[in-house]
Structure 1
């Protein structure tokens, strides 16, 4: 089968032929990929940012946002059948550790993370587990929802955690309206009555944000912090969802957060520097976010399949994977790039 393989850090992946994965364990599932999302994390992987944390051995296949059709199943699989359309939770998990039993799938002590620490889904087939599979409605095309498996679930997870803070009359700033942010906006609109203020440096992204339900938009032109403070009577927002968290955006996000508010860090790449006295004197919180739970993804799929959350995509054939990565790197993708093997 064809696969997008990383052979060396700081070099572009190559598209090459590798063996198809096969079922080995009783709960294994092999999925024929219908859509694989292209994520900024893929760029960070190539840049070696994940090497120490993942411990992956090169070469390997990247791609961690995957959906498709069940191709083969292990002897104990009872939740999906061959031919079923599925979206895949990004981390196949054990189901037995304390984190799994508490429903915190992304903190499973025995999980794998295809596309991060083992072979991923930028390929024709992917090996996963029954625990990662969520069946799709028959009319749902995997390529239309694939990126919800990471970009979507990550944005939804952060919003879901912030919901108790976002009662009517509050303000939530969405910092960055790209692949994750545009899902965050729709999730906020579906789950809360908060006022949504979207900040982005790209005017086209702000236009999309308005279409998706943003109440106010702010162009990140160097004066975005002051603009948010003006919109909130000098107080700042109760919640800031920072989908950027690099190139100074992470510091802006903290400055946009009001006393007693919370900055949710979802993007990454930068370093957040906050004097301890600024935390204790204002009781602001900084909350980390990693992917989301199986139930988060299941809930998000209900919103997607009922039309309340829509993924804006640009599709590329698998053979054009390097073009998709380049377009993402240079800011030419509005929404999410999807590879379609």
Structure 2
């Protein structure tokens, strides 16, 4: 009888962990996301004293490996320590009515121009766990340098996981509280900063300059275990993907023996589809739909996207993290996403 009872309790415990579970820790200012009892990611909103925007951090594979860089939140040996504003997975832009939301951090380099904007979490309106998916809807304000809201954000995250696959859908609606212009600027828009193993091998030191002319040095590093490689839906590979347009991008690599593909998908209803890719070999993996002139080095006309007061625009993206073969999964999942 005791064996039967124990087996029943174990079976009940296993089934209780099945599915996608969201847990809000209000004191810690985070929503934990797990799949079948294993940590997947967390929505964190510690506030401007720690981060200048809410982010998803960290993000794990089905095998439990981190695809996101640890620094500056949880430094790991051998990581790069550049760009302190690159934390987890985020959504912002480099020039909104002249305000830089992208580069804002508590460690801004001396001489950086600004002015800076800050994205402040304002609430959780929906939190649902489920057998096949979990859903989180949050709100935030995009504040100017004086703390006045320019944009009101409503974002719904849909988290899924099954077997060796994990996915995050992000649907973000921005409502203008005043007339707003997103000026062509390479610093945007949805992005993730990758773990060192998913970077491209570093062949030489690099210097990257932001829209204000401020340079950041990115050193050459030990390439042991570094296996990242981009390939776009248009067949462009490696670091050549920067400044090209594509419906989706796939990054492949190996994390502690786990073969991994990280796919980011654009949606046909998004402004600027198919998006330009602001993706670098040193670990910045970003899609930027609003800067055709900058991203094409002047070949395309500027967009300078305008959103009048009271009007809204929605951006939809999907990230897929999988251990399955890369190309066929990207094609199939992209087709499902755009339906």
Q: TM-score when scaled to structure 2?
A: 0.24
Structure with greater contact order relative to length (CA < 8 Å, sep ≥ 6): 1
Q: TM-score when scaled to structure 1?
A: 0.24
